[in-house]
Structure 1
């Protein structure tokens, strides 16, 4: 796997991975690469958005963590389909079609403008039109992709370490997702905010969201938050090595004061959500247990203060089918 160790643990130039597979990656060490990668994600994400039919809460637009990076999943096109995958083991963007054709774009130091040009050309090479709105969302300033020559960094070791962070977060979020019997999202990697997320719903409608995200129409947020929810995930910011988060919309009275007895966890008034620094999980004796405790406690805070149906949870031991 080109400089990477076994699945149980590895060390790379981009960050040290513990024996449990949780890599250390300081936010300050890859800021330029992260900003560039964020714009590349938006280019590809908008291609998916251009062709996939709308699903509630924009569930048709995110990426999914894969054994090689993250991908769009299948996108309908004509009477066939295609997908795109960021392969951060071999550092290339793959374009694959159901007709058997494929193309690739190298992931290397290059401007957003150059990446955009090459990606559109790769799609055209397999007969796919990509009528995207070529301007990023949820960021300010929003420089059109074709004019963005300022973001041009790519540290492959750092990007691979970030992917390994996503692998660990996705594993635990998937376990947490399975404990809920109600409406719950897949574990999504959203390219707008560059965060991994899983969202549970109470089943009740929510008040209209006020919007306010930079360079993002209010109706976009209204669709995403149309129903009462408790959402959690991982964001590569908010701490020295990123942070796990959890919030409720609308936030019930007493939510922010609810007890979350997990070392390092706190409620951030700035972000209106509970945060748990990634490094607090990574350095724990049992990272999975610490993260699950945080996710369960913050959901309990939302469900208790919000009056959710207690029957929406299942017994976690029921999920251990491999032990039977």
Structure 2
């Protein structure tokens, strides 16, 4: 029996909408304090043993970490000086979460000039003005976390089979997706931009070089079910016609990327193998069609305690 949890979109939708806005608010702290890193990697979250963490945030007198604990259902702010503040995750408006978060970080960071509105959403109403009651189902949040703990190790394993530049496995709060990206090493055509509530200069820096990217989101934004995705930028003309595995994967014409329903992976005889197959075949299609130097970039999947051989 699979240990991958069932995360139906209907149960997740309200909780997911809250977590999306809450991670945006918390992510703005890292965005405000951390030096800019290529492709906005300085602003992301990571899966840890209890939920999502910002990692150690530099930029003030001491280091800070923000954690969404989806086991005890708390937002925690911790400092390298041993200080800890936080509050319970429960149904609340975005405005209320914003108020509580600002109070929680004040003892650590003092006044921080944070951007006060969401990114990558069509209606970028400032957080303080989002006063409608919000949902939070602890069971839905915990199952989402459990799914991430199943998915992230497969992404990490996939990442070991590449010698070129690769992103960390990290969660972008703009669209609330866990992602991993490979780079060919070549520059890409200028991106047209046009993402809602996101400066074009940010998008163009993020896609300054050729990529093959894959990820997971729990539903929304064109696919109302939890799903994996894969895309290339720039997308080779024949990419959408490539043979991708497993058989449940398909090309989503509106999104312009491959999609694999999470349920098809969760119920597979070997979910890890099914997901790894999707990651590998979508990468191979992108790299082969765009003539990446795979002989120099690819390597076998890593195994414990075995350094890569060097000629």
Match of 1:218 among 200, 204, 227: 200
Residue 271 (1) aligns with residue 265 (2): no
Task: Give the conservation status (yes or no) of the 8 Å contact 1:36–1:151.
Answer: no
Residue 200 (1) aligns with residue 185 (2): no
Residue 296 (1) aligns with residue 304 (2): no
Q: Secondary structure at the match of 2:36?
A: coil
Judging changes above 3 Å, is the alpha-carbon distance between structure 1 residues 100 and 308 closer, same or farther for their aligned structure 2 residues? same
Question: For each residue in 1:107-166, what CA deviation from the matched residue of structure 2 results, as whole angstroms up to 9, or x when unmatched?
Answer: 011111111001100111234332111100101211111111125111011011111111
Q: What TM-score do you get using the length of structure 2 for normalisation? A: 0.95
* 1:174 corresponding residue in structure 2: 156
* 1:314 corresponding residue in structure 2: 299
Q: What TM-score do you get using the length of structure 1 for normalisation? A: 0.91
Question: For each residue in 1:199-245, what CA deviation from the matched residue of structure 2 results, as whole angstroms up to 9, or x when unmatched?
Answer: 00000001111111111111111011110000001011165641111
Q: Secondary structure at the match of 1:75?
A: coil
Task: Give the conservation status (yes or no) of the 8 Å contact 1:205–1:228.
Answer: yes
Equivalenced residues, count: 304
Cα distance in 1 for partners of 2:288, 2:306 equals: 31
Q: Secondary structure at the match of 1:83?
A: strand
Task: Give the conservation status (yes or no) of the 8 Å contact 1:23–1:165.
Answer: yes
* 1:24 corresponding residue in structure 2: 6
* 1:83 corresponding residue in structure 2: 65
Task: Give the conservation status (yes or no) of the 8 Å contact 1:240–1:279.
Answer: no
Cα distance in 2 for partners of 1:111, 1:173 equals: 33
Task: Give the conservation status (yes or no) of the 8 Å contact 1:232–1:245.
Answer: yes
Cα distance in 1 for partners of 2:60, 2:93 equals: 31
- Provide structure 2 residue ranges, at least 5 long, that are not aligned to the other structure: none
Q: Secondary structure at the match of 2:145?
A: helix
- Provide structure 1 residue ranges, at least 5 long, that are not aligned to the other structure: 1-18
Task: Give the conservation status (yes or no) of the 8 Å contact 1:281–1:291.
Answer: yes
Q: Secondary structure at the match of 1:275?
A: strand
The answer to which structure, 1 or 2, has the higher relative contact order (CA under 8 A, 6+ apart) is 2
- 1:32 Cα deviation after fit: 1.5
Cα distance in 2 for partners of 1:261, 1:74 equals: 37
* 1:66 corresponding residue in structure 2: 48
- 1:101 Cα deviation after fit: 0.8
Cα distance in 1 for partners of 2:200, 2:109 equals: 34
* 1:153 corresponding residue in structure 2: 135
Judging changes above 3 Å, is the alpha-carbon distance between structure 1 residues 112 and 138 closer, same or farther for their aligned structure 2 residues? same
Match of 1:162 among 144, 155, 163: 144
Q: How does 1:86-105 map to 2 (within 5 A)?
A: 86-105=68-87
